[in-house]
Chain A
Amino acid sequence: MVAHSYQLKRADFIFKNENDWERILDKTLKRPPQELINELMSSELKGRGGAGFPTGLKWKLTAEDPSDEKFVICNADEGEPGTFKDREILSKVPYKVLMAMAVCGYVIGSQKGYIYLRGEYKFLVPELNKVIQEFEYYCKQIGHQFSIKIFLGSGAYICGEETALFESMEGKRGEPRNKPPYPSSNGYMGKATVVNNVETLAHTFTIFKYGAKKFYDLGVQYSRGSKLFSVSGDTPKPGIYELELGMSLQDFVNEFGDGDTKAVQVGGASGFLVPRKRFEKTTIGYRGKLTGISLPTGGSMMLYNSSRSMYNVLDNYLEFFREESCGQCTPCRVGCQQLHFGIKAVKRGDKPAQYLDKLLKLTETMQLTAKCGLGQSVANSFSSIVENFREEMIY
């Protein structure tokens, strides 16, 4: 099998200071909505929160819904361990996000936008409100009806899941809903709603300003455009980097590793751990028909060097999920407890090493049967770490 190797390609769109957002907004709002949807679709922009749903399609489905009222929600509940890019976008280039929300509102027929802001980002509120005020003032001037309000979350990880986010905004307990129905027809308050990640919205600014082609030309097939990466862990240069999608993990480690990288956790606690032997074969991007393994990520890249115990790493992730599962569905609530207490029992010698195989089978059930995307992915770290570092779990 040939490993696809791409050099790391830096990009610089998101944080580029554009002082002409008013003009871009004017211009964009004069184009027919269908044309904007087509532009987004041809850019092949996919959701940057990690799930990778095509953004243009999301806007299209919501635009077509007959709902009498619609909403645009910017998901800024950045809670995945190891992700810290949305905070930067909202502090450095908030107007890009606001503009994108207004354009989305124009396309789908909504006059109300909300930013669901992670409770821990409360410090962003005063500055953000100032920008929102200016933005709304400008919208009024050009005769565009659109308001934006900030809704502060209360700290539950699960509220980043879009339907749990709705429940939270509606004043209920943050628990994912059954799907279908989907947000494009039954979202916030039961109305058609677009929920986009902060970064996704910021990318649409790029697309509306420079055209879909500029964006499409970046990246590789099925994984177009650039993406922000939150690089942390055992690296000499932690931080936020905008890179083209489709890079191989080997190239990534060559750039960011400390010369002793043992494994990389791609996609945060709910993502996958890739051991050194798979760096070459792993590319970072959405799942497509590429050869080798392609791993999506909401941007979290955590590097671990040989001084790290993978048992401790997994213990940490599982403790997180044991507490952050909303607790409503059986596979996630009880599954997380069994996985977490299970590795402890194996480590203590209370359960035989073979018990790990029973737990691996359990992870399949969790993936198949959990109610929401979180529950379906909580076991990823378990299966990828136990499969690759089994001995560290036992001895």
Chain B
Amino acid sequence: MSNTIHVTINGIGLEMEKGKTILDAANQAGMIIPTLCFHKDLCIAGNCRVCVVEVSGQKRLAAACATPCEEEMEIQTNSLKVRNSRKHIIELLLSEHNADCTKCYKNGNCELQELASEYKIMTQDFLRLAPLKNYTIDQFSPSIIKDDSKCIRCQRCVRTCAELQGVNALTVAYKGDEMKIASFFEKAMNDVVCTNCGQCVNHCPTGALVERNYIEEVWDAISDPNKHVVVQTAPAVRVGLGEEMGMDVGTRVTGKMVSSLKRLGFNAVLDTDFTADLTIIEEGTELLHRLKKVLKEEDTSVKLPMATSCSPGWIKYIEHMYPEFLEHLSTCKSPQQMFGALVKTYYAKARKIDPEKIVSVSIMPCTAKKFEANRPEMHDSGYRDVDYVLTTRELAIMIKQAGIDFKKLPDEKFDRLMGESTGAGVIFGATGGVMEAALRTAYELVTGREIPFENLNITPVRGLDGVREAVIKIEDPLSEWAFLDGVELKCAVAHGLVNARKVMEAVKNGTSNYHFIEVMACPGGCLGGGGQPIPTSPEIREKRTEAIYAEDSGMPLRKSHENPEVLKIYQDFLGEPLGLKSHHLLHTKYIARDRY
């Protein structure tokens, strides 16, 4: 049987692969069919109905996203029937939606607003239903704000939370006119299993789910002459920010980002990549320490595999779902929190600034980082270590508000101290990056030689497969590590919490014998984070990934332990990895949380 079928779309003949939908056919024919509930990351729902098209011989209209093409199908995407129906559906959605657009955080970046504009819905003929429903806004979470009055029930967030994350913090409740998206027993998002990953925010077409923004607070701090405002930028921001500024997906804008931050008025523009390198030293040492305890000293109180702890979404997930495995987490704080703790101690001392006056801001591709900065443990400097966390999107808003013509900005360099980084720090932004950076350092520590991969690119841990495994054999180690001779270091990398579950189940069932696990809560790692530019899709994440690795290979230094500032901080301040000061400032503990 032939694998192709023939359809016509608006009179244009088309040959296409079997099993494709009408929406695929339209894309192939260069026709755009509007969609709302459809998302490339998610399974087909077919519930918004804006993508309806006319198929010859069928009485009803068909949802283009959910209807497979059949041989000889004749499709009309813009007939009168289609136009009238589509317009009706947009009107209906608007009637149930709190369409006070000028007061909406997503004004200008809302798919419903775009459709309303495209179809020129100029009147409000139908009754306004939104005010009848008495919705309250859930704004208890430090990360995510949920406003049901703006929800169009496309269930993209529900599918995201279930399919990408396996968390199911959001689900459909009630039926008929009362149907809504709700958390468990309609508790606040802050009180349920929500990991604050923000993938729902990233996939929401309207303003129903948005990040809690701290833009005004940061402007206030910048404007306060008595404050010294320090900003750190996460690795993934530099490969995403350009999208918000109208540049191509995958454009690296590190230099422009730095100069825009300087123009915004931050007193020092520093780099989270610096503490990413520092994390590698601490975490790599911790891994070797654990290996020694388990393999050499046969100490059963020390747990393997060790899991990374940089992703706050992952941390909250394991706290809820696998609390019995908390001892497997590296005790290292995330780079953001290491940075925060050092800024108000080491940096303040070196720059002779009263830490009381320092406001520490971080730019993150992440909404969970807002929650992380808010955790009560994160006050080791004697102050709140990170005062405000902004997402990539919030930074873009500030740049636009400041009237900065981003594309025309010159490239500038990060300030010192704590502005120097290596390629190993940069790749923290991609799934597999922490693993790769850790291996580059740990291997060399153990053997005195570079890890034997071409250009230091540890390709087995790269890529976008949900779970990836790699085995690194240690040969001919330095005498101190003789017990590792011939040991095959088994590593697993997972991104997206649904994949984290697979790895954790394998660990739980004892079907794996991993030594080291890297988990990033978001698909693609931080570059696909919940705070990154909207929209997201597998293609977009792939381009951002390429940009991250290009950034790495363009760096003069590629290994964390070669970062001169990192060497200096141990010399001047920290002493040694896992030392007393490190323990106090750079490490943390975790809390077992309930699921309900």
Q: Which residues of B contact A328 (CB under 8 A)?
A: 45, 47, 153, 155, 172, 179
Task: Give the residue of B46, B127, B132, B176 whose beta carbon is less than 8 angstroms from that of A333.
Answer: B176
Q: Which A286-344 residues have a C-beta within 8 angstroms of B?
A: 321-331, 333-338, 341-342
- Contacting pair B179 A333 (CB below 8 A): yes
Q: Is the CB of A326 within 8 A of B81?
A: no
For B172-186 the 0/1 string (1 means CB < 8 A from A) is 101111110000000
Q: Report how far A201 CA is from B31 CA in the complex, Å.
A: 47
* Bound Cα distance from A368 to B80, whole angstroms: 13
Q: Is B67 an interface residue (CB 8 A)?
A: yes
Which stretch of B88-96, B135-143, B349-357 is in the interface? Answer: B88-96
Q: A327-B178, A327-B179, A333-B153 are in contact. Are A338 and B63 (CB under 8 A)?
A: no
Q: Are A327 and B60 in contact (CB under 8 A)?
A: no
**Minimal Cβ-Cβ distance residue in B for A173:** B172
How distant is the Cα of A321 from the Cα of B175 in the complex, in angstroms?
Answer: 10
Tell me the bound Cα distance from A265 to B44 in angstroms. 37
- A178 at interface, CB cutoff 8 A: yes
B49/A337 in contact, CB under 8 A: no
Does A180 sit at the interface, judged by CB under 8 A? yes
Point out the residue from B48, B60, B89, B129 that lies within 8 Å of A337, measured CB to CB.
B129
User: Which residues of B have CB within 8 Å of A175?
Assistant: 172
Interface residues of B in 163-221 (CB under 8 A from A): 172, 174-179
Whether the pair A370, B175 counts as a contact (CB closer than 8 A) is: no
**CB-defined contacts of A173 to chain B, threshold 8 Å:** 172
Most A C-beta atoms less than 10 A away, residue of B45, B63, B127: B127
- Residue A274 at the chain B interface, CB threshold 8 Å: no
Closest A residue to B132 by CB, please name it: A341
CA A337 to CA B175, docked complex, whole Å: 12
Number of interface residues of B (CB under 8 A): 38
Is B85 a contact partner of A365 (Cβ separation < 8 A)? yes
Chain A nearest CB from B148 CB (Å) reads 13
Shortest CB distance B91–A (Å) = 9
A327 contact set on B, CB distance < 8 A = 153, 172, 174-179
Report A-chain residues with C-beta under 8 Å of the C-beta of B89. Answer: 330-331, 365, 369
Q: Chain B contacts of A362 at CB under 8 A?
A: 88, 92, 126
Residues of B within 8 A of A156 (CB): 175
Q: Does B463 contact A (CB under 8 A)?
A: no
Q: How far is the CA of A321 from the CA of B84 in the complex (A)?
A: 24
Q: Is the CB of A330 within 8 A of B93?
A: yes
Question: Total A-B residue pairs with C-beta atoms closer than 8 Å?
Answer: 117
Q: Does B66 contact A (CB under 8 A)?
A: yes
A366, closest chain B residue (CB):
B88
Interface status of A203 (Cβ within 8 A of chain B): no
**Does A365 lie within 8 Å of B88, measured CB to CB?**
yes
Beyond A325-B177, A330-B47, A371-B49, whether A180 also contacts B68 by CB under 8 A is yes
Closest to A373 in B: B60
A322 to B175, CA, bound (A): 9
Taking the nearest CB of chain B, how far is it from the CB of A370, in angstroms? 7
Type the 1/0 row for B546-575, where 1 means its CB is closer than 8 Å to any CB of A. 000000000000000000000000000000
Known: A325-B177, A328-B155. A371 touches B96 (CB 8 A): no
Q: Which of B52, B129, B132, B155 contacts A334 (CB 8 A)?
A: B129
List chain B residues, Cβ under 8 A from A351.
127
Report the bound CA distance from A331 to B153 in whole Å: 12
| Shortest beta-carbon distance from B405 to chain A in Å | 41
Q: Check A140 for interface membership: any CB of B closer than 8 A.
A: no
Interface positions of A from 146 to 181, Cβ below 8 Å from B: 156, 158, 173, 175, 178, 180
CA A335 to CA B95, docked complex, whole Å: 10
Question: 1/0 contact trace for B74-88 toward A, CB 8 Å?
Answer: 000000010011001
In the assembled complex, the Cα of A118 lies from the Cα of B254 at a distance in Å of: 62
Main secondary structure of the interface of B (DSSP, over half): loop
**Residue B61 is within 8 A (CB to CB) of chain A in the complex:** yes
Interfacial chain B residues near A330, Cβ < 8 Å: 47-50, 89, 92-93, 152-153
A345 within 8 A of B: yes
Residue from B47, B50, B155, B174 within 8 A of A371 (CB atoms): B47
Residues of the B chain whose Cβ atoms lie less than 8 Å from the Cβ of A336 = 176-177
**A186, chain B: closest CB distance, angstroms:** 12
Residues of chain B with a CB closer than 8 A to A365's CB: 84-85, 88-89
Q: Is B297 an interface residue (CB 8 A)?
A: no
State the CA gap A219–B84 with chains docked (Å). Answer: 40
Inter-chain contacts of B93 with A (CB < 8 A): 330, 334
B530 to chain A, nearest CB (A): 25
Residues of chain B with a CB closer than 8 A to A158's CB: 175
The answer to the question of B125 belonging to the interface, with a C-beta cut-off of 8 Å to chain A, is: yes
Measured in the bound complex, the distance between the Cα atoms of B92 and A192 in whole Å is: 36
Q: Which of B152, B172, B175 has the most CB of A within 10 A?
A: B175
- Taking the closest CB of chain B, its distance from the CB of A338, in whole angstroms, is 5
Indicate if the CB atoms of A367 and B176 lie closer than 8 Å.
Answer: no
- Asked whether B68 lies within 8 Å of A331 as measured between CB atoms, the reply is no
A358 within 8 A of B: yes
CA gap between A367 and B61 in the complex, in Å:
9
Q: Is A248 part of the contact surface with B, judged by Cβ < 8 Å?
A: no
Rounded to whole angstroms, the CA-CA distance of A323 and B174 in the bound complex is 9
Number of interface residues of A (CB under 8 A): 37
Docked pose: A180 CA to B55 CA in angstroms:
14
State which of A342, A345, A376 has its C-beta within 8 Å of the C-beta of B60: A376
Chain A residues with Cβ below 8 Å from B176 are 321-327, 333, 336
Q: If the complex has contacts A173-B172, A178-B63, A328-B153, are A338 and B177 also in contact, measured as CB distance less than 8 A?
A: no
Query: What's the nearest-Cβ distance from chain B to residue A393, in Å?
Result: 15
- Cα–Cα, bound, A336→B92 (Å): 10
Closest to B96 in A: A334
Contact of B95 among A325, A338, A376 (CB under 8 A): A338
- Least CB distance from B493 to A in Å reads 31
Question: Smallest Cβ distance from A77 to chain B, in angstroms?
Answer: 15
Which chain B positions have C-beta within 8 A of A361? 84, 88
Determine whether the beta carbon of A329 is less than 8 Å from that of B47: yes
Chain B minimum-CB-distance residue to A365: B88
Residue in B closest to A158 when the chains form the complex, CB atoms? B175
Q: Judge whether A367 and B177 touch: CB under 8 Å.
A: no
Q: Is the CB of B85 within 8 A of A369?
A: yes
Least Cβ distance of A188 to chain B in Å?
A: 19
Q: How far is the CB of B13 from chain A (nearest CB, A)?
A: 23
Q: How far is the CA of A330 from the CA of B179 in the complex (A)?
A: 11
A361 to B80 CA separation, bound complex (whole angstroms): 13
Of residues A156, A321, A324, A338, which shows the largest number of chain B Cβ atoms within 10 Å of its Cβ?
Answer: A338
B115 nearest CB across to chain A (Å): 12
Q: A334-B129, A368-B60 are in contact. Are A178 and B88 (CB under 8 A)?
A: no
A361 to B84, CA, bound (A): 9
Task: Name the CB-closest residue of A to B84.
Answer: A365
Q: Which residues of A contact B61 (CB under 8 A)?
A: 368-369
How far, in angstroms, from A370 to B48 measured CA to CA in the complex? 9
Q: How far is the CA of A187 from the CA of B533 in the complex (A)?
A: 39
Complex Cα gap A367–B81 (Å): 12
Nearest chain A CB to B95's CB is how many angstroms away? 6
Q: List 16 other contacts, CB 8 Å, given A341-B127, A342-B127, A362-B92.
A: A175-B172, A178-B46, A180-B67, A322-B176, A323-B178, A326-B175, A327-B178, A327-B179, A330-B49, A330-B50, A334-B93, A334-B95, A336-B177, A341-B132, A361-B84, A369-B89
Interface pairs (29), CB distance under 8 Å: A178-B44, A178-B46, A180-B67, A322-B176, A323-B176, A325-B179, A327-B175, A327-B177, A328-B45, A328-B47, A328-B155, A329-B47, A330-B48, A330-B50, A331-B92, A333-B179, A338-B126, A341-B127, A342-B127, A358-B125, A362-B126, A365-B85, A368-B81, A369-B49, A369-B52, A369-B60, A369-B61, A369-B88, A371-B49
Top 4 nearest A-B pairs by Cβ distance? A327-B179, A334-B92, A178-B66, A365-B88
